[in-house]
Structure 1
Amino acid sequence: MTRVLVVDDQFLIRAGLVGLLNAAPGFEAVGEAGNGEEAVLLAAQARPDVILMDIRLPGMNGIEATERILAEAAAPTPRVLVLTTFDLDEYVYGALRAGASGFLLKDSGPERLLAAVAAVGGGDALFAPSVTRRLVEAFAHQLRSAPDAPPPPDLDALTSREIEVLRLVSRGLSNPEIASRLSISEATAKTHLNRTMTKLHLNSRAQAVVVAYETGLVTPGG
């Protein structure tokens, strides 16, 4: 059973998502919140597997709520799936940077939404790598050069193999594809990626893509 917390400031959207989840086998809505502050409190109380997070919320927005939830959560950390009205959204980029596992357009159909929640809950990559890359390339340089931007993680802690794996992840390759490219087993590729994410304190594969661009490991269009 995948336990889901629904966060959206519009009551009808929240109610629709809750109804959809509770009617589908294998899913349970364990709470609903109308703003970021409520989301942080309910995430700590309900311990959901997945959080459907509207990005533009009154008061504490979805980026801030995602940061708080992931920073304060006890293991296992919930996975955040951002809901947005359009894919090239600076707010979505900020949420991925904060550790969200993926994003989904609000006009997606019920089957796609349930498949996305299941994928994120299972730890799988969610969206087409081309969409992730397009979003990250649109904002990585812009936000990296902002005066108040935090410094990107230092990659010196990574081995040469881990850097290779991070570069391939940022290019949208799956674990089986990485394994084939590097002539290693899929389990070894996954181990390298997990170690990379641990060393860089990353919560999601999408966050690893952001880091690869912000550190200059890969460049837009490169």
Structure 2
Amino acid sequence: MLIVDDHEVVRHGLRFVLDQEDGVEVVGDCASGERALAVIPVLRPDVVLLDMVMPGLDGLAVLRRLNDAPEAGRPAVIVLTSFLDDDRVVRAVRLGALSYLPKTTAVDRVVEAVRAAAVGGSVLEPGVAALLVERVRRGDPRRPLDLLTPREREVLAELARGRSNSEISRALRMGRETVKTHVSSILAKLGLSDRTQAAIFGLQQGLVPLDEALDG
């Protein structure tokens, strides 16, 4: 993974902590969005921990540039920031950020987000999730789907078919723990309390035909 933050103490602290975690390899760190965009094609990190507010190119600008890159070369992005602003949160998620964490987030939660991002999942703090839900409620009723990654939409479609985690694991060829991570992310992003609500939402959004869901 790559750490991008203009504060040296934050970068070094995060690198020290993450380097201690089994299965997590920090391939580099940098202090600007410009530098991040230069080294990502070279280092090819699976996950980028990205500061939102930096001189020059900020986190949103970096996300926009990454979206222009080939899909195979685009890392998963976790936003770590001192600013909790609803417009910024929604814009970052729509640009592809998987998790949006305040810098006050506990270290173990950051580690959890890194591991989740590596398999396409999200970790959202309650305050961030609440902002997303409120913004979605004020907007277009079809807009919530924009908050989900393509893989999360596939999992949501399987939930709408009434499939269990084991069945989803087989259908989408992913591990059961990865399925659980995606389901948790879907519930958090959509402000839903359980998989039944998620299944109903998936049907309402037309992800699968009703007769197909009934057959499942």
TM range (shorter): 0.5 to 0.7
Answer yes or no: is the 8 Å Cα contact 2:156–2:186 preserved in 1: no
Matched, 1:187 2:184: no
Identity %: 32
Q: CA deviation at 1:23?
A: 1.8
Query: Which string of whole-angstrom CA distances, capped at 9 and with x for unpartnered residues, describes residues 6-50 of structure 1?
Result: 000101001111111112221111111111111111111110010
CA distance in 1, matches of 2:70, 2:155: 30
The CA RMSD measured in Å over matched residues stands at 4.0
CA distance in 2, matches of 1:119, 1:23: 17
| Counterpart selection for 2:8 from 5, 8, 11 | 11
- Unmatched segments (≥5 aa) in structure 2: 173-184, 191-204, 206-216
Matched, 1:127 2:124: yes
Would you say how many aligned residue pairs link Structure 1 and Structure 2?
173
Matched, 1:97 2:76: no
CA distance in 2, matches of 1:113, 1:105: 10
SS at match of 1:29: coil
Correspondence for 2:45: 48
Q: For residue 162 of structure 2, what is the amino acid of its counterpart?
A: S
Q: For residue 46 of structure 1, what is the amino acid of its counterpart?
A: L
Change (3 A) 1:60 1:115: same
- Unmatched segments (≥5 aa) in structure 1: 145-154, 156-162, 192-203, 210-216, 218-222
Correspondence for 2:213: none
Q: For residue 118 of structure 2, what is the amino acid of its counterpart?
A: G
Q: For residue 15 of structure 1, what is the amino acid of its counterpart?
A: H
Asked which structure has the greater RCO (Cα within 8 Å, sep 6+), the reply is 1
SS at match of 2:50: strand
CA distance in 1, matches of 2:29, 2:115: 18
Q: CA deviation at 1:95?
A: 1.4
TM-score when normalising by structure 2: 0.64
